[in-house]
Chains A and B, each alone.
Chain A
Amino acid sequence: MAGTTRTPLIAAGILIGAGLGGFIDGIALHQILQWHNMLSSVYPPDNLINAKINMAWDGYFHLGVWVTTALGIAFLFSAGRRQDVPWSGRTLLGSAIFGWGLFNLIEGTIDHQILGIHHVNEYAANRLAWDLGFLVVGGILLLIIGWAVLRAGSNDSIPRGEGA
């Protein structure tokens, strides 16, 4: 479509997907399942002191993904006011899934593989297999699904005020 651009909506979706994906990581893997914490390879949470140290660093991680989500909402609002940005649920959903995958890929590569500050499942016999599985399923697979949904919505142009 001439004179239109999807990139502001895509940027908003990427940030919202990455932020919410980060919350899923923190809530499900850190708090409910307790497979790992932010620095659980450095300070194994096998005593109260280390558990509390990890709790604080988990909090800083949650602050970071909160900012990411808030910035995504601000981008979304800004994109919504631009007439040259076609409104599309598939573009937003696809970019959110893509953003989630991108976050997992970057976080998994930096924190799990390069720095080794924590691993997906600290208590598994083969931690590397879990880390690689996370990169494939949580990273690459989500990137592919997000990209496919994004492509499917490439010609969407829903007039403002009408149904999605």
Chain B
Amino acid sequence: MDSPFNYPIRVGAVSLVVMTLACEAWACRWCRLRVSQGIYGSDFLSTLVTLLLPVMALGLIATGIYHFDKIAERLGGLK
């Protein structure tokens, strides 16, 4: 996509990955350990994917609609 947003989108994507996978909830000293155990257990990634499923589905649908003319052209070319 030809857009000045390309660079901010790349920076944003890296920042989001860092915020999602390389950051940890700090919380207060009294409850930090139990909060961390509740969030960053073995099911962290599966919970994250589950939670973001609606957002990912919407992103896929909208990207498909955005490129609908190209997709239709390609599918037409396959006939």
Contact = CB atoms under 8 A, between A and B. Distances in A.
Interface of A: 5, 7-8, 10-12, 14-15, 18, 22, 38-39, 43, 48-50, 52-53, 56-57, 60-61, 63-65, 67-68, 70-75, 77-78, 81, 99, 102-103, 106-107, 110-111, 115, 117
Contacts of A11: 62-63, 65-66, 68
Given A10-B65, A60-B48, A64-B52, A77 B3 contact: yes
Interface of B: 1-5, 9, 12, 16, 19-20, 25, 27, 31, 34-35, 38-39, 47-48, 50-55, 57-59, 61-63, 65-66, 68-69
Most buried by B among A52, A106, A117: A52
Given A43-B38, A48-B31, A49-B34, A65 B66 contact: no
Nearest to B69: A5
**Chain B contact residues, majority secondary structure:** helix
Given A11-B62, A14-B65, A60-B20, A78 B2 contact: yes
Contacts, number: 113
Contacts of A57: 39, 47, 51
